[in-house]
Chains A and B, each alone.
Chain A
Amino acid sequence: MSAIRILHVDDEPDIREIVGLSLSLNPDFQLRACGSGADAITAAAAWSPLLILLDVMMPGMDGPTTLSHLRKNPDTSDIPVLFMTARAQAREVEQFISLGAQGVISKPFDPMTLPFLVRNHLQALKLV
C-alpha cells in the first residue's frame, strides 16, 4: 500500500512535533508539517497530500483564509481539509463545514487515538 500523505498545518512547533509523533504510530501515514497558511498553500500544491489537518487560529493567515485559498487553486481545490481547533460549538463546526472543510478535530486531542481518528475520517471520505 502506498503512503498516505497528510499535511499538518499549525503555527505552534510543539504541537507540530506531537502530531508528528502521534501520526507516526500509523506506518501508512507520511506526514509533512507547515508552520503557516502561506507555506501550507505552497506545500499542498507541490506535494498533493491526500488530507490536510489545518489549525484555525494562526497569526498572519488563519485557517479559514488558508482554506479559501486552497479551494481557489484547481491543484488543491479537491484536497479534503479537517480543521483542528479548541472544542468547537456545533454552530462553529457548521460554519467550518460551510467554508468547505470536511470535518473538525478538537484540541486538545488524545495523541494515542489521533491516528485512528484521522483514519476514520479518511474512510468516511472514501479515501482509503
Chain B
Amino acid sequence: MGKVIGIAEKACEPWAVELVDEKFRLAVEACPSGMVMTDGAGIIVLTNAEAERLFGYQRSELIGRPIEILIPERLRNKHQRHRHTFIEHPQTRHAEASRNLFGLRQDGTEFPVEIGLEPICSRDGLLVLSVITDISDRKRVDRLKNEFVSTVSHELRTPLTSISGSLGLLVGGAAGALPEPALRLLTIAQNNSQRLVRLINDILDIEKIESGQIVFNFKRLDVHALIEQVIEANRAYADGFGVQVRLELASTPGDVYADPDRLAQVITNLLSNAIKFSPLNGEVIVTIEQRANNVRFSVRDHGSGIPAEFKPRVFEKFAQADTTDARQKGGTGLGLSIVKQIVTRLGGQVGFDEAPGGGTVFHVELPAWAQVARQDIDTDQRGVRILLCEDDPDAASALRDGLHPFGFSTDFARNPADAIARAKYDRYAAILVDFELPDADGVNFLGRLREQPEIYKTPIVILSAGRKIDRNEMSKRDVLEWIEKPADVDQLARILDGAIGHEVNGRPRILHVDDDHDVLELVAQILEPTAIVVSVDSIEAARRALTTQHFDLAVLDISVGPVSGLDLLPDLHSRKGAPIPVIVFSAHGAELATDPQVEAKLTKSRASLDALVAAIHDRLMLRSPEVAEEMQ
C-alpha cells in the first residue's frame, strides 16, 4: 500500500503543523516535474505550477475536473481501465519511457510523457499522485540518434564491402599465391573486417529494435526443431573453438508463439557466447523444457563464469566483463543486449545463473502456443465466429464479452501475421481490425488480408482510435465499416448483423432450390440444427425469397422444372452486391456450371448427402468439435 502522510500530525504544536504544511506546499510548487493528484474517482484535487505549464491550463481549470481531460481522446478508454486496475491494486509505479504515453494540452496538441504513479492513503481515502515529465526533447534526440546511426552504418558498410571483398579475393588466391607471412597478415585484416561488419550489423539491429522498426512476425513455432537448426548452423563455429554442443530434452516441449528469425537470432547469440567462453574441448549443453504456461530453453557453458561485479550489467549495450576479453573473443558487446530486447518483445524473459560445477547457464522462457491459443480462442463457440485483431488484451476481452450477448464468438489475433494465419485456417464470418496495431501499417495489413484467397470477401470492420481512412481507400479494400474506438458494441453488432445476416442464435441461412421434394426435405432435416434452410421448388419462389431475406449460401439443382437453376446466378448477391456462394447439387450437368460463384459441384448419383453437408459446412465455417480440439 502507499505511503501515509502523517508528518504534520506528528508535530504537536499548531505552528509546527503550519510550518510543515508550508514547506510541503513550496516543495510541490518548486518540483520540476508536473504533479497531479487525483481522488479514487479520478478527479483532480491538486496540481503544481509545472503541471499548469505543461498542459497549458490554469489551476482553477483543473481542480475538480476528471484526469482524462489531460489525456488524448484515443487513449482515454485505455487509461480509465488502467486507472481502475491501479485503484484495485495500488502500488508505486516508476516512470517508464517505453510505455508510449501522451499528454493533451489545452490547445489540443499532444506531447510524449513519462508518468510515475504513487498511491497515497489519506484521511479522505486513496489518492493517486502522478508525476509527469515531458519527454519531447528526449524523443527528438532519440530520433536524430537513430537516423544518424542508420546513415553512418550504411556509409560504413559500403567501403567495408570493398575492403572485405578485396581481402577475400587475395586470401582466396584469386590474385595468385602469396608468401606465408603476407597471407597471415591478410587473414588478420580479413578477420577484423568481418568483425567490423558484425559490429555494424549488431548496432543496426539494436537501433532497429529500439526504434520499433523491426516487424515481428509471430507464429506458432516448433522450438525444438528451430534450436536443432541453429545448433547445426553453428557447428563449424563451435569446431573452430574445439567445443562440443549437445542438446538435451528435459521434457517434450510444446510449440511456442514467436518470430522464427528473431528467435533464431536469440539462440545464435546465446550459443556463440557460450562457445566463445568455453574452455578448449569444453561442452555447451542446450536444454529444452516444457513448463506450465511456457517453454524454457537454457544454454549452459563450462567457462569461468561471470564476475560478480559484472552481473548487473550483463544485458547492457557494449557491456563486456573484460575489454581484453572482447578482443580475444571477437565479440561486439551487443549480443546479450540484443537477446534481452528481442526476448522482451517476444513476451518472454531471459536470465542467467551460475551453473553448478562452474560456468554459466542462460535461460529464456517464452509463452507456449497452447497458452496463447487458449486465451485467443473463444471458449464459448455457440455464436457466429468472428476474428478480432487487437494487440491490447484488455480491450479485446472487453469486446468479446460485449459481443457475446449478440450471438458472436470472438477469437483474437495479436498481430497481422497471426490474423492472416488464423483467417486462413478457420473461416470467420467477419474480421474486426484494430487499425493501430503496433507492428503494422493498417492499410498495408488490409491489403495483405485481401490478398488471401480464403478471405478476399470476408466482411472487414475497422476499429480505429485516431486515423480515419478515406472512403476511397475503404471501398478499394472492400472495408465494410469504420468504427471509432472504443467501439460501441450495439453499433458494432448491428453492422455485423447487417453484413452477415445472421439470426440472434447465429444460424446461417441457406437457400435450397430443387424440384425434388424428397431431397429438399432431407437436406432441411439434416441441416436444421446448424442452419436455417429455406427450401423452394421453383426459380420464381427462389427470387421471391431473395427479395426479402439475406442468404449465406445457395444450393442449386441444375434442372428445376423446365429451367436451369443456374439462371438464378445473377440474382444471388447480397444487398451490398457481394456474390452469394453457390453449391450445385444436381443429378446431371453439374460440370456445366463454370461460373466462379459456384464453389462446389456435386452430382447427386455420385455424391451422398453427407458430401453435400460437408461441402456446405466447409463454406459456412461451421466449426466441428475436432477442429476446435486441434486448435487447442
Residues of chain A having any CB pair with chain B under 8 Å: 12, 14-15, 18-19, 21-22, 25, 57, 86-87, 89-91, 107-112
Contact = CB atoms under 8 A, between A and B. Distances in A.
B172 A18 contact: no
Contacts of B19: none
B161 A15 contact: yes
A21 B157 contact: no
Nearest to A87: B201
B174 interface: yes
Contacts of B164: 108
Interface in B204-236: 204, 208, 214-215, 217
A57 B155 CA distance: 11
B513 to A, nearest CB: 43
Given A90-B217, A91-B215, A111-B174, A22 B165 contact: yes
B254 interface: no
Contacts of B178: none
A27 to B, nearest CB: 13
B169 A112 contact: yes
B25 to A, nearest CB: 54
B162 A57 contact: no
A108 B161 contact: yes
- For A15, A22, A111, which residue has the most chain B Cβ atoms within 10 angstroms? A111
A22 B159 CA distance: 17
A111 B175 CA distance: 12
Contact of A18 (B165, B208, B217): B165
Contacts of B169: 18, 21-22, 111-112
A89 B160 contact: no
Contacts of A22: 165, 169, 174
B420 to A, nearest CB: 13
Contacts of B175: 21
A112 B162 contact: no
A110 B168 contact: yes
Nearest to B196: A108
Interface in B253-273: 261
A67 B597 CA distance: 37
B213 to A, nearest CB: 9
A112 B174 contact: yes
Contacts of A21: 169, 174-175
Interface residues of B, number: 23
B289 to A, nearest CB: 28
A89 B154 contact: no
A12 B154 contact: no
Interface in B113-162: 154, 157-162
B166 interface: yes
B197 interface: yes
A31 to B, nearest CB: 14
Given A15-B161, A87-B201, A90-B261, A112 B215 contact: no
A108 B165 contact: yes
A25 B172 CA distance: 11
Contacts of A110: 168
Given A108-B165, A111-B168, 14 more contacts: A14-B159, A14-B162, A14-B166, A18-B161, A18-B165, A18-B166, A18-B169, A19-B165, A25-B174, A86-B157, A89-B214, A89-B215, A108-B160, A112-B174
Contact of A15 (B154, B165, B197, B201): B165
Contacts of A15: 158, 161-162, 165
Contact of B154 (A14, A18, A86): A86
- For B161, B164, B215, which residue has the most chain A Cβ atoms within 10 angstroms? B161
Given A14-B162, A87-B201, A108 B174 contact: no
B166 A57 contact: no
A90 B217 CA distance: 10
Contacts of B208: 89
15 contacts: A14-B165, A14-B166, A18-B162, A19-B165, A21-B175, A86-B154, A91-B217, A107-B157, A107-B161, A108-B157, A108-B160, A108-B161, A111-B165, A111-B169, A111-B172
Contacts of B217: 90-91
Contacts of B201: 87
A88 to B, nearest CB: 11
A100 B166 CA distance: 31
Given A21-B174, A111-B172, A12 B158 contact: yes
A86 B164 CA distance: 13
B448 to A, nearest CB: 10
A15 B201 CA distance: 19
Nearest to A108: B161
- Interface pairs A-B: 6 shortest CB-CB: A112-B172, A18-B165, A14-B162, A108-B161, A111-B168, A108-B164
Nearest to B262: A90
Nearest to B215: A91
Contacts of B261: 90
A54 to B, nearest CB: 15
Nearest to A19: B165
